[in-house]
Amino acid sequence: MALNWFKKLKTGLSKSASKVENAFASVTGKKTIDQEVLNDIEDQLILADLGVEVASRIANKIKQQKFELNEKKEITKIDVAETLASEIENDNEEKDSNVVKVIVDDDIKKNSFARALDFFRISNKPLNKLTYHHVGIYAFTSKALIRYVSLDRSKLEINRKLEQLRALEDKMKIDVGYIDTCPLSVDTEADLVAVKKLMER
């Protein structure tokens, strides 16, 4: 029964991730990102179960981004992926191999995206201030997704068991945005039990 419940949860998360991707893709072909476009993105993110507050923060971050333009001066699909991260809250998270960390090249709490430099689970060195708790939600442009799935698994990906390293090792760009709360994740049997208890309330 637990396996059936987990399968339903995984299906639901996959649908949410697809909605997030559609929200980011909706800016393609636009000459400007005006308030109407931002409102549409925000609505789609809310429908993707990210919540009103998180959806509003992401829409504001998009408003501040600079996008590549094609010869028609339209926003084009670029070879990039977007993901999210939050603060590492305590020592337990820092030492937990199920909590993936991401290092970025700038402070993502300044309401802007920063470029991911590395992803890892455990470090033998103290974490610097630009290390965050990676939230495993991605939005790919279609170009980036096609490129990603065509790549062979990389050495770092296999060693660390983190598929996003396949993209980084092939010099793909992954931008990271900030959210102030980390959503529940189901990585271990203990996580599954905790989520089931929440849903039974």
3-class SS of residue 185: coil
CA distance 58 to 43: 11
Distance from C-alpha of 88 to C-alpha of 163, rounded to nearest angstrom: 21
What value, to the nearest 5°, has the Cα angle with vertex 164 and ends 163 and 169?
A: 105
Alpha helices by DSSP H, listed for 26-141, are 35-47, 52-63, 91-95
Instruction: From 183, 188, 3, select the one nearest 84 (Cα to Cα).
Output: 183
Residues 16-65 have pLDDT tens digits of 555 555 555 555 545 455 566 667 766 766 666 566 777 677 666 665 55
Q: What letter represents residue 188's amino acid? A: T
Write the DSSP assignment of 67-98 as a string of letters. Answer: --B-TTS-B---SEEEEEEE---SHHHHH-TT
> What number of other Cβ atoms are within 10 A of residue 66's Cβ?
6
Beta bridge partners of 115: 175
Domains and CATH numbers, the chain: 2-199 (3.90.550)
Over residues 94-153, the pLDDT tens digits come to 999 989 999 999 999 876 789 999 999 999 888 989 999 999 888 887 778 888 888 899
Please state which of the ranges 108-112, 152-156, 170-174 shows the lowest mean pLDDT. 108-112
- Prediction pTM value: 0.60
C-alpha separations of 156 from 48, 121, 128 in Å: 31, 12, 21
Residue 63 CA neighbour count, 13 Å, CB half? 16
